[in-house]
Amino acid sequence: MNTPHTYDTVIIGAGAAGMMCAIQAASEGGRVMLFDHARAAGEKIRISGGGRCNFTNLNCSAANFLSRNPHFAKSALGRYRPQDFIDLVARHAITWHEKTLGQLFCDGSARQIVAMLIAEMARAGAELRLETSLRALRRTESGFALTLEVGGRRQTVQCRKLVVASGGKSIPKMGASGLAYQLAHQFGVPVTATRAALVPLTFGADVMAGLAPLAGVALPARVSCGEAAFEEALLFTHRGLSGPATLQISSFWHEGEEIALNLWPNGDLLAWLKSRRQSAGRRALTNLMAEALPKRLAQYLGRTHGWAGNLADQSDRALAEVAHAVTDWRLRPSGTEGYRTAEVTLGGVDTAALSSRSMEVRAVPGLYFIGEAVDVTGWLGGYNFQWAWSSGWAAGTAIAAAH
């Protein structure tokens, strides 16, 4: 064993939240070290948004997050807002654009965001260690002692404050392991039930036998489950449903529940059908619907519901049944694609155990949990990155103030 190295703060996890925390924690001169088992920092940032990083959302508020305590995120989100991160991006001359629903993306590469955060850490004096794994952790009289391993060699590191920013279980190929929950259990910090979220939904073989020919079909739709509903793009896949609308609703769906698809989310389909019956009565019903919907989808619905004849032959009741089939299609998923493709983990470290202002564990002074590890899960569209920035900033600011 080498001689112990002592820091004011050690942060586990060089992702979005961890790097933001390191920047703030080192800003007042504290000795800060951030480590990660990966070969590069910010790997989830790098692959996000199709490589352009949907780094925040202009409409971000606590209402866009799921948590056992829906008020917990208000403090951090209210003190470090989307505009604060936009200002940081601007200082690094990173150009961006707004896509839809307040989502902001880099004009260039997501690597610019990673480079920005690494540069900010270096400027603040935070030390970054990569390809470094945690082998043991224990509490000491003055804080914490960590046994780290790098290149087959072990080293003991001590610190007064420890921040866990190692994320959740989503995308294990990127190194996700659920380490944060293991450490929470070690220190008696409660963890709520976790599951994959923002993830494609799958269906049983019986359902997929019919849906399989629709793989690749995409269209705007309103997807709902219970009282939750999202109107965005829907994509049929060889395993089930994906696309933004599906990913959004997956966070609200529970096993055994059904979802409803409205494939004509804008306007009154029945009124449109009656109008077309007057102006295009000789058109075959299925052919007309192939103009309103992707052709393969219209043909599938036509076969499934027995659409036949011309528009002029359809009674008001028959047209109402067509409209209902298109706007209230009920399906019961068998599951999800799981953590393999999930963008985030729903649930996590129980917010009841944390200070909403500093993210510190109330019962274990000096221990903090931030980012995806916490039971705060955002909608799709930049919200989870904003939570990473805000929670990391909140913890780092509190730590810096205590130096």
Domain with 300 in it = 201-336
CATH number at residue 304: 2.40.30.10
CATH number at residue 58: 3.50.50.60
Indicate whether 156 and 282 sit together in one domain: no
Indicate whether 297 and 231 sit together in one domain: yes
**Residue 315 pLDDT:** 97
Indicate whether 205 and 179 sit together in one domain: no
Instruction: Give me the chain's average pLDDT, please.
Output: 96
Indicate whether 313 and 366 sit together in one domain: no
Indicate whether 309 and 251 sit together in one domain: yes
Indicate whether 254 and 112 sit together in one domain: no
Decide if pLDDT at 2 tops 80.
no
Indicate whether 205 and 190 sit together in one domain: no
Indicate whether 183 and 293 sit together in one domain: no
Confidence of residue 176 (pLDDT cuts 50, 70, 90): confident
Decide if pLDDT at 107 tops 80.
yes
Indicate whether 168 and 249 sit together in one domain: no
Count of structural domains, the chain: 2
**Residue 403 pLDDT:** 74
Decide if pLDDT at 1 tops 50.
no
Indicate whether 180 and 248 sit together in one domain: no
Q: Which of 336, 356, 389 is the last residue of a domain?
A: 336
Decide if pLDDT at 3 tops 70.
no
C-alpha to C-alpha distance for 187 and 200, rounded to whole angstroms: 34
pLDDT tens-place string over residues 297-348: 999 999 999 999 999 999 999 999 999 999 999 999 999 999 999 999 999 9
Taking residues 160-173, report their average pLDDT: 93
pLDDT tens-place string over residues 13-27: 999 999 999 999 999
pLDDT tens-place string over residues 222-269: 999 999 999 999 999 999 999 999 999 999 999 999 999 999 999 999
Indicate whether 273 and 135 sit together in one domain: no
Decide if pLDDT at 134 tops 50.
yes
Decide if pLDDT at 67 tops 60.
yes
Q: Which of 336, 353, 387 is the last residue of a domain?
A: 336
Decide if pLDDT at 163 tops 80.
yes
Indicate whether 90 and 159 sit together in one domain: yes
Q: Which of 336, 368, 384 is the last residue of a domain?
A: 336
Confidence of residue 5 (pLDDT cuts 50, 70, 90): confident
